[in-house]
Structure formats: structure tokens, C-alpha cells
Amino acid sequence: LFDSFLRYEIWALKMVDASSKGGPGLLDGNVMDLGNYGQCISVVAPGELFRGQHCVIETRGIMPADMDSMNPKRPVLPTLRLDLMFSVCVPSSCTPSDVKTHMDVALNSVNATSI
């Protein structure tokens, strides 16, 4: 995927484009960015070797434990403390275990995990 993205192959560009990039308002509790599901599942690699697969990732350990201290005028409901939830568009040949393994390696650098 990465090499194809660097070669500007349309299918790879669409997979990256369909994935979450992080939006504004994290410190105000805007912790969900689910990307573009329709765009992701419409991706077909050359020769139909695989399709796009939309995977939702939920993390633990990235957002502060006390979100209310970030914005005391607008407290976050305890039931909404999800940490971050985002999506990645990956080849359909990837298993959920593959995605979790790669996410945990990336998140380890900030002492976080995926669930």
C-alpha cells in the first residue's frame, strides 16, 4: 500500500483518503473520526487482488484521564470518555489481528493501545 501510494496509484490514494486523519476539537471531546466507509469499500486493487476494508480502531491511553480539566466550562459526560476512535482503510487481505498488531506497534510510542 505504501509503495503504491508513493507512486500515486489511484487505488492506494483512495485507501489513504478514506482513512481518518484526525479532526478538530479533540480537547473539547470530539474523539471520533470514522473516515469515509463508502469510499473505502469501493476501492478495488489492480487485477482485483483485494478490495478496501474499513476497520474502526478504538484506543486507550491517548486522551487525558481528566478531560474536564482540558475545558472546565464544557465538561465531558463520563459515558463519552472513549479515548480516540478512528478508522483505517486496509486491504481486505488483512485480518483484524494484523490491523491490531500494526496499530499497537504505532500506538506504543505514545504509551497507548488499541482495543
Give me the DSSP letters along 17-44.
HHS----S-GGGT--EE---HHHHHT-B
Tens-digit pLDDT profile for residues 14-58: 999 999 998 787 767 778 899 999 999 999 999 989 999 999 998
**What is the model's pTM?**
0.77
Nearest-angstrom CA–CA distance, 101 and 96 = 9
Per the structure, the count of domains in the chain is 1
Q: Is the pLDDT of residue 79 over 50?
A: no
Domain extent at residue 15: 2-114
What's the CA gap between 83 and 20, in Å, rounded?
A: 15
Whether the per-residue pLDDT at 82 is higher than 70: the answer is no
